[in-house]
Amino acid sequence: MLQLLVGQTLNGVIVGTLYGIIALGVTLTFGITGIVNFALGEFMMIGAYVTWYMFDIAGLPYPLAILPAVAIAAGCGFAADQLLFRFTRNNLINGLLVSIGLISIIEAAALVLWTTTPKDMGYVLSGAFRLGAVSLPKMKIVVFALLAAVMFLTYAALSRTWMGRAAYAFSQNPEAAMLMGVRTEILQSGVVVYSTALAGFGGALYASLYSLEPAMGGLYILKGVEAAILGGIGSLIGSVAGGIILGVTEAVGSIYLPGAFRDAYGLVFVVAILLYQPAGLFGTER
Amino acid sequence: MLLEVIELTKRFGGLTALSDVSFAIGTGEIVGIFGPNGSGKTTLLNLITGILAPSAGRILWKSTEIQGQSPHVIAAAGVVKTFQNPQLFLELSIYDNVAIASHLRLRRQYGLRRLAELLPWRDAARHSEVMQRVDRILALCRLDSVRERTAAGLSYGQEKMLGVAMAMMCEPDLLLLDEPASGLGEDEIRTLEEVLRDLRGAATTLCVIDHKVDFLARVADRAIALQQGLMIAQGAPAEVLHHPRVIEAYLGRHHARA
Amino acid sequence: MKLLLWVPFFIFPALVQSNFILTIFIFSFILAIAAVSFNLIFGFTGQLSMFHAAAFGIAAYTTSLTVSIFQVSFWVALLPAICFTIVLSLVIGSICFKFKLRAFYFAVVTLAFSELARLVILNWNNVTNGTLGLMVLDKPSVWLPVGGMVKIDGAVGWYFFSLAALIFTVALCSLVLRSWIGRCFAAIRLNEDLAQTLGIDIFRYKLLSFTLANALAAIAGSLYAFYTGYIEPNYLSINQSLDIISMVLLGGRSSIIGPIAGAFVLTGLPHMIDLSGETRAMLYGLVLILTILIMPQGVIGTLATWRRAA
């Protein structure tokens, strides 16, 4: 029983970091542009499918397959920003609805290109580590390490560099930041593109572990938003912590309760948090 | 006594915005509350109107405790305020703005029977009555000339007046005005003073909160001075304005006379 | 007067013999009920609720199950469906509005409840048959002056039945929105703080708007189930909520009848133009985006603005 618990917890942590990277994108986008980009899940899907294509079809080695995936996801993110999100800054409802329209378009395009048949990428790294009776696939550890590294680097960049401080200042007081010379348009576009790049990266790593289908984006953005709310929208640490807490809760919860309701735990959690601690676990209300 | 404030205190984390403030407002008075920025005027106002709940102390309205109640309940009890930065329903016409404000009147007049007012012919019948009241109040607030405009097309002074008009539609027993004179030119301030006196004539008790002392001195029967959350003087405006602590608060220690 | 606009709809079936077109109209009428009622809480009260499709679907299931389990007529079954929807709305609405959730969080919480409802229905296989859905074989009956109790079957019958339901919905919404209740909704939408200061109980009116909107959606859902003869958990999906939102945005959220236009366009067009499911979805996303960015007042709203300017 203990090994089941440990195994599930570890699984939950790893899935949680995937939720976390989306949540990070959600929090960043909300903090700087004032909207929630529901289409982030689709950018994750784009990253996943491009990686699959590059690795399985084009035969590139995995690390080289990830690069175009992230680039293409970021490129699409840039296009989306220039065509759409540029016009919905700080308008939450409009931004939400526009991103939902975007989801329809991207998901339909994916269906046309790749159909609903799930795509399974070949093994990148086979084999597993054994911890007593618990077996943890090596690739999962690699994915976890990479995601954790990227999230940590993002956090470091935002708290130590001038660029990060400018971003923080902007999220606190846009007018003042502008008057101080922060190039707000570039900052906002940059954040949108960066969060889509993060999502694409998450997707690229996702592809090495799970099978792909066009509907995957919808599930992950929901989890990402739940995790972001859990940790507190506006807090970087919160989004990561929220993701992991959500992942672990789902994984451990499905031991004791029907697996079909796995998705419900996050929802109930979120409702409870919003009612009692609207700022989330780590958040500062914007 | 219409309104009694008893040892009212409000703390925000480590900051004490209001400390042990006590005073009373009697029917038919115009009471002025003034103090420099940060003295706790707006906090006091928000505590009375239910937007904030006090950390300690009580507020009695017609001998009933109202501290901590919801804003709409306190408004229904007869205490209505205006906003320092005029709050309006910007998309709507002036008429609609004032008509929405007649909600409380409708409630008082009809109680639960107002469900019958849903019937279209009843609504039409009431329409002319509402029009008359709206016209009367717009005239009182010197806004009848701009009746047809949308709320977005008004000057700042007119916006403030519209705020007063809307508050008056609620038929308050006590009207609290938050910095009504701020941002107004001299002429507009004179008009405001006239309106306030007319309002008192129409049996509304007024409490004016502002930092323009000369305006308050002209308008108020009684004045209360606040500084850093404390009440430092109370009495007739002339007295209060010459009170040493008040002068010190406004002009600094050098100017205070013994 | 605006009532004249309805007359063409009454004559229409006589002019058009095609069942196909009548079917499109029937679907449009029923979905228009959902759209018009959604606009109560969204366009008029300013709250983005993601629970509308859930109300639609839950009522559809409740009505169908009541008919099949208790062997009663459609009308009798409609009552528990509407009552259940009202109770749910009161509970969920109370939770949301008591805690004064701001716009985005209200959308998220209603979405959460909607998804929970869908998951329950999806997994409660004994009762709801899960993903397979339920067949609804019964049809409602009405009493007509000519012919007594008549079963509503066939395109023409359903056309007038759903048209009548739509007219009822519009009339009810009209009554509410033109009254002081409607003014309270507008006050909440435009400036909540001011509304409170003027004595309007925000909690009560938001709850009223939410509950009424969901109750009317319940009617739409029940009609839809009995017309198509089939219900499945996807009735409660986020996509269904989005469909309804798009209809309102496209048609225009500042009028009562605007959403009807949106319902017609988004229901009718995909059937008129033969497109694959994916192309339809892409166009649909495009319509949503263009409406938000270019025509935020929707078709009817923009037309109204042009007319005023002319």
* Ordered domains of chain B (ranges, CATH): 1-78+174-180+205-258 (3.40.50.300)
The answer to whether C172 contacts chain B (CB < 8 Å) is: no
Instruction: Specify the pLDDT at position B202.
Output: 77
The residue that leads in pLDDT, B159 or B126, is B159
Q: pLDDT tens-digit profile of A243-268?
A: 999 999 888 888 877 766 777 777 88
Q: pLDDT tens-digit profile of B246-257?
A: 777 776 655 544
The answer to whether C190 contacts chain B (CB < 8 Å) is: yes
Average pLDDT of chain C is 86
- Which residues make beta-bridge pairs with B16? B11
In whole angstroms, how large is the CA radius of gyration of chain C? 19
As a whole number of angstroms, the distance between CA C33 and CA A2 comes to: 54
The residue that leads in pLDDT, B127 or B29, is B29
Contacts for C93 with CB less than 8 Å, ≥ 6 apart: C206, C207, C210, C211
Mark yes or no for CB contact B100/C184 under 8 Å. yes
Contacts for B196 with CB less than 8 Å, ≥ 6 apart: B30, B177, B180, B206, B208, B219
Instruction: Specify the pLDDT at position C147.
Output: 66
Average pLDDT of chain A is 85
pLDDT band at B114 (very low <50, low <70, confident <90, very high): low
The answer to whether C184 contacts chain B (CB < 8 Å) is: yes
Mark yes or no for CB contact B123/C176 under 8 Å. no
- Which residues make beta-bridge pairs with B234? B224
With touching defined as 3+ CB pairs under 8 A, do chains B and A touch? Answer: no
DSSP code string of B168-230: HHT--SEEEEESTTTT--HHHHHHHHHHHHHHHHTT-EEEEEES-HHHHHHH-SEEEEEETTE
The CATH number of whichever domain residue A39 belongs to comes to: 1.10.3470
Q: Which amino acid is at B110?
A: Y
What does the pLDDT average to over B11-16? 84
The residue that leads in pLDDT, A61 or B120, is A61
Q: Which residues of C touch B108 (CB under 8 A)?
A: none
Mark yes or no for CB contact B103/C175 under 8 Å. no
- ipTM score of the complex? 0.85
Average pLDDT of chain B is 83
Model's pTM, two decimal places?
Answer: 0.87
Q: pLDDT tens-digit profile of B84-111?
A: 888 999 888 888 888 888 888 777 777 7
Strand B222-227 versus strand B174-178 pairing type? unpaired
For A191, counting Cβ atoms within 10 Å of its Cβ (0-12 exposed, 13-18 middle, 19+ buried), the class is buried
Instruction: Specify the pLDDT at position B257.
Output: 43
Strand B205-210 versus strand B30-34 pairing type? parallel
The answer to whether C48 contacts chain B (CB < 8 Å) is: no
Instruction: Specify the pLDDT at position B216.
Output: 85
The answer to whether C177 contacts chain B (CB < 8 Å) is: no
As a whole number of angstroms, the distance between CA B219 and CA C229 comes to: 73
Phi, psi of B34 (to 5 degrees): -135, 165
- Which residues make beta-bridge pairs with B92? none
The whole domain housing A54 covers 2-276
Q: Is A283 part of any domain?
A: no
Mark yes or no for CB contact C292/A36 under 8 Å. no
Q: pLDDT tens-digit profile of A128-151?
A: 777 777 778 888 888 899 999 999
As a whole number of angstroms, the distance between CA C269 and CA C287 comes to: 12
Contacts for C133 with CB less than 8 Å, ≥ 6 apart: C230, C231, C232, C233
User: Which residues of chain C carry a pLDDT beneath 50?
Assistant: 1
Structurally, chain A folds into a number of domains equal to: 1
- Which residues make beta-bridge pairs with B205? B174
What residue of C is the nearest CA neighbor of A116? C278
**Over 50: is that where the pLDDT of B20 sits?**
yes
Crossing angle of helices A92-114 and C238-251, in 10° steps, is 120
The answer to whether B70 contacts chain C (CB < 8 Å) is: yes
